[in-house]
DNA sequence: CAACAACCCTGAACATTGTTCAATACAAAT
DNA sequence: ATTTGTATTGAACAATGTTCAGGGTTGTTG
């Protein structure tokens, strides 16, 4: 009795949680199968009954991280004035804050590289794509005339630009900007990007919209 | 005779070049000491007479990559109208092109993480900082009233934003934007950022400059 | 030229890790 | 209770960065 299937699932959940804790504490490179096995109380070989390999485990943890990130962005989306400009700023800052507060787990999302030939499974790709929808809505309000495809690309670009600022801003403590300064920079540049995109501006607005 | 010191330096150079070639072909994770030793014709142990460890070797390759990147950006800087806006766009596109043409070597610059406690040597940090100076100059032309510190931060932010677009844009082939589209997006968003930063713009330009 | 010291190189050995697998223990079914 | 299929174990394997004692080479000195 004691429903072995449920026990298996329980162990699986424990494994993923243990992996998450270890990555958060010691970084992606601190994740070792033997530590995991000891942590959840089984032989190292048993790990491979719960997940196919380390890649899958890391992606599972990534999925959890992405879900929490998604929630943080959702909260920011509806946590103030519905002005699309300010909503986008809030989302960008929420992204920055999440990365700072979950530094190692957030890094793991991008540091991890699939071993060549093996493909990222669909459920993982879906997780990633879901993030863009947060900035898509405000962009629709800002640019009602533009088509969905164009807006999707813009959403992706905006997201990527903010991601870059966060990534390099949190990189190395030596030259790193202090967090408040980084937040200010992000807010400023997001507003600038939006203003510039709206702009009935001066001379050279040629290539942006076409 | 046969000047052993020069021989050593020759071997060292060979080693770095071999490492560069391997990273370019197989990525950072494809770099193995035994392959390197075979490649340059020595025992695997001998590698450690030429460099302290893999970290140093990777940083040496990174230094070469950064130098070439620096040259590419320099060329872009002076390869067209001296209008600062267009100069910045050219630099951003040159960055994108360099990353695309040197994908694995460029990725290695950011994928590589120092083993904790060990610090990045000075010469490597210098290499990295040098990149910002390319966008610093045009920014001085654009914002003569702002102080050097503020401009340095802006330079860093602009660079980071473009880096983010390139990084996520070249990431996964599945959802990846084709290169010409990415270039167009980068040019558009760089112009937007600049316009937005210049902007005597509408309602909400509060937080950017302060 | 000979003896010697300093240094380099070799290749075997070590430690760490992801992964596999034959043997064992266990659970359920007949 | 016996059988059967599955889960678990822990030893073994392979890959890989790194170290090291021993042998060889180089350059210097008498």
Residue B62 in tokens: 């990174």
CATH architecture of A63-209: Orthogonal Bundle (1.10)
pLDDT computed for residue B177 by the predictor? 76
The average confidence (pLDDT) of chain A is: 90
Residues in A 92-111 with any Cβ partner in B closer than 8 A? 111
d(CA A191, CA B3): 62
What's the first-to-final CA gap in chain B, in angstroms? Answer: 66
Chain D nucleotides near the protein (CB, 7 A):
7-12, 15-21, 26-27
Residue range B62-198 forms a domain whose CATH class is mainly alpha
CA-to-C1' distance for B210 and D8, Å?
63
Interface test with B, best of A195, A203, A210 (most B CBs within 10 A): A195
Whether A1 CB is under 7 Å from strand C: yes
Share of chain B above pLDDT 70, in %: 90
Convert the pLDDT of each residue in A13-46 to its tens digit. 999 999 999 999 999 999 999 999 999 999 999 9
| 3-state per-residue secondary structure call for A75-105 | HHHCCCCCCHHHHHHHHHHHHHHHHHHCHHH
Find out whether A99 and A171 touch, Cβ atoms under 8 Å.
Answer: no
Q: What share of chain B is helix, strand, coil (3-state, %, to 5)?
A: 75, 0, 25
**Placement of tokens 């600049």 in the chain:** B194
Where residue B175 falls among pLDDT bands split at 50, 70, 90? low
d(CA A102, CA A65): 9
CA-to-C1' distance for A54 and C26, Å?
27
Of the options 1.10.1760, 1.10.1740, 1.20.1300, 1.10.10, the CATH number for the domain spanning A1-51: 1.10.10
pLDDT computed for residue A128 by the predictor? 85
> Is pLDDT at B85 greater than 60 in this prediction?
yes
Residue B170 in tokens: 């070249």
pLDDT computed for residue B122 by the predictor? 87
Find out whether A162 and A95 touch, Cβ atoms under 8 Å.
Answer: yes
Give which of A65, A78, A77 is closest to A104, Cα–Cα.
A65
Domain boundaries along the sequence of chain B? 1-51, 62-198
């Amino acid at each position: 009795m004691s429903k072995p299937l449920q026990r298996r699932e329980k162990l699986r959940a424990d494994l993923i949680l243990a992996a998450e804790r270890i990555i958060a504490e010691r970084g992606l490179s601190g994740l070792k199968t033997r530590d995991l096995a000891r942590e959840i109380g089984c032989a190292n070989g048993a790990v491979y009954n719960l997940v196919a390999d380390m890649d899958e485990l890391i992606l599972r943890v990534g999925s959890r991280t992405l879900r929490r990130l998604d929630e943080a962005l959702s909260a920011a989306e509806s946590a103030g004035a519905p002005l699309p400009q300010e909503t986008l700023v809030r989302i960008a800052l929420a992204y920055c804050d999440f990365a700072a507060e979950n530094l190692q787990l957030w890094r793991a999302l991008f540091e991890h590289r699939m071993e060549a030939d093996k493909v990222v499974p669909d459920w993982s790709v879906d997780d990633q794509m879901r993030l863009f929808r947060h900035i898509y809505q405000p962009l629709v309000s800002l640019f009602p005339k533009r088509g969905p495809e164009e807006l999707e690309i813009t959403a992706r670009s905006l997201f990527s630009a903010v991601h870059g600022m966060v990534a390099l801003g949190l990189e190395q403590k030596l030259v790193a900007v202090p967090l408040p300064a980084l937040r200010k920079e992000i807010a400023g540049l997001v507003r600038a990007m939006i203003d510039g995109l709206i702009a009935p501006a001066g001379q050279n607005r040629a290539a942006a919209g076409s």
